[in-house]
Amino acid sequence: MHDASAPAADAIDLNQVALALSDALDLVGVEVVQHGKRVALLAAGVARGLGLPEDDVSDLFLAALLHDCGVSSTRVHQHLVGELDWDGTPEHCDVGARLLSTFGPFRRVSEIVRLHHTRWDAPARTAADPATARLANVVFLADRVDAFLLTRRGEDPLLAREPVRRSIGELGGTYFSEEVVDAFQKVAVAEAYWLSLEPHHVERAILRECARARPRPGPPAVLRQLAVLFAHVVDAKSPFTAEHSARVARLAALLGRLSGLPAETCEKLEVAGLLHDLGKLRVPDEILEKPAPLDEAEFAAVERHAFETYQILSRIPSLADVAEWAGMHHEGLRSTGYPFRRLAEEIPVPARLLAIADVFQALVQRRPYRDPLPPADVLGQLRRFVEAGQLDGEGVKLVEANFVACWEAATGRAGGFATLRVM
Ligand SMILES: [Fe+2]
Ligand SMILES: [Fe+2]
Ligand SMILES: [Fe+2]
């Protein structure tokens, strides 16, 4: 057994990071939680039924955990788990594969994700490497098993077992290879296979599976690469938030440097910026895109995102600081923010800077209920937030003194502020 919880010195354990990020992806289902994890467990079982080598099982497990990383829209997710052949299906395979292919160690995982809705009898499948195509077919089958199970939600999974086995059996030779279906039928006899999918068993089953997986230590730099990848997933959720995380990260790191924070802290601050809104994946699209003030229930759905982010990042012990800062990006300084209701002295400088970067960037973006703010109005707003005890005054002074650079970091556009008086 490999000990996935003890990577060497400063190495990052990619399995652990992937698991945390799958927590984020699982939020997209809103009420359909843990989809990625159930698919990973179902797929790993089939892989063992096929007698695949451990390396293949590990790649498959990771691909299954991350298979829906091309989906950040709650609407799209509903179609995908609800329909066998939805018209929009190929897009999320391509988007997910493209994202994962940007990260070297996940190349094969990316290829599996690209093919994870390709029927076994489709010509496209034959163009792929046969071993990888087979792994993708396993993910496809596992995904459909979970979709069938979701139609029988609330029922004892042991009662769903036979109907699901029959439904999958009917798709052998067309959607799925006969060999993969046979392996599934073999492992699907066992009660434990189904019971481990129940919400209170999933986490432990996943940790067991992770402990068996091939260790994937990576240098600390991979963390930033993975954070960039996931910032894309979050920012793709709505056209209104395009590039939000990436730009918050850039501005937060700039503010860190301007504050004289050590380089290592600035790097972590950038990662916190990239990942601060991971929890937003759970907010239904209709709420994020509502062109009017939110009602109480809608605000509650939005407000929880900071805590969700904190929980996801807390899974990675080496990211304790990042989890803390990212989780606090909506804290005020007088116990008026959320979700922890901290007081000023309980909020470290990097978290304060991140909060400023978040507000700044949001103000310069279009929102469904307002236009982007011009530079002078951005400063006015930031100052009002300082007066109200919501943002840190020292940090906002830094913004004032370096406004052009901050504007460029937040918008990606050069300023042209010849006539702007910022002080
Ligand atoms: Fe899926
Ligand atoms: Fe946020
Ligand atoms: Fe944000």
Q: What digits encode the pLDDT tens for the residues 100-124?
A: 999 988 999 999 999 999 999 988 7
pLDDT at 422: 43
Question: Which are the contacts of 389, defined by CB distance < 8 A and separation ≥ 6?
Answer: 332, 333, 334, 336, 344
280 is known as an active-site residue: yes
Q: Does position 417 have pLDDT exceeding 80, yes or no?
A: no
**pLDDT-based confidence at 77, cuts 50/70/90?**
confident
Which ranges of 242-316 does DSSP label H, i.e. alpha helix?
244-258, 263-275, 285-288, 296-303, 305-314
Helix 244-258 × helix 263-275 angle, to 10°? 160
User: Which of these is catalytic: 186, 268, 280, 290?
Assistant: 280
**pLDDT-based confidence at 343, cuts 50/70/90?**
very high
Q: Does position 307 have pLDDT exceeding 80, yes or no?
A: yes
Q: Is 343 helix (H, G, I), strand (E, B) or coil?
A: strand
Ligand nearest to the CA of 328: 2
173 CA → ligand 3 middle, Å: 46
Ligand nearest to the CA of 245: 3
244 CA → ligand 3 middle, Å: 7
Lowest mean pLDDT among 80-84, 159-163, 195-199, 288-292: 80-84
Arithmetic mean of pLDDT, 361-380: 91
Question: Which are the contacts of 22, defined by CB distance < 8 A and separation ≥ 6?
Answer: 36, 37, 40, 65, 66
Q: Does position 87 have pLDDT exceeding 90, yes or no?
A: no
DSSP state for residue 8 in the 8-state scheme: -
Of the options 2.102.10.10, 2.40.50.140, 1.10.3210.10, 2.60.40.420, the CATH number for the domain spanning 221-411: 1.10.3210.10
pLDDT at 220: 81
Lowest mean pLDDT among 94-98, 127-131, 363-367: 127-131
94 CA → ligand 1 middle, Å: 13
The dotted CATH code for 12-218 is 1.10.3210.10
Identity (one letter) of the amino acid at 60?
A: L
pLDDT at 2: 47
Question: Which are the contacts of 272, defined by CB distance < 8 A and separation ≥ 6?
Answer: 249, 252, 321, 322, 325, 326, 329, 350, 354
Tell me the C-alpha distance between 321 and 304, whole Å. 20
82 CA → ligand 1 middle, Å: 10
pLDDT at 1: 41
Length of the chain: 423
Q: Does position 327 have pLDDT exceeding 60, yes or no?
A: yes
Tell me the C-alpha distance between 232 and 101, whole Å. 13
- The CATH 1.10.3210.10 domain(s) of the chain lie at 12-218, 221-411
pTM of the predicted model, to two decimals? 0.88
93 CA → ligand 1 middle, Å: 10
pLDDT in tens, 155-170: 899 999 999 999 999 9
Arithmetic mean of pLDDT, 340-352: 96
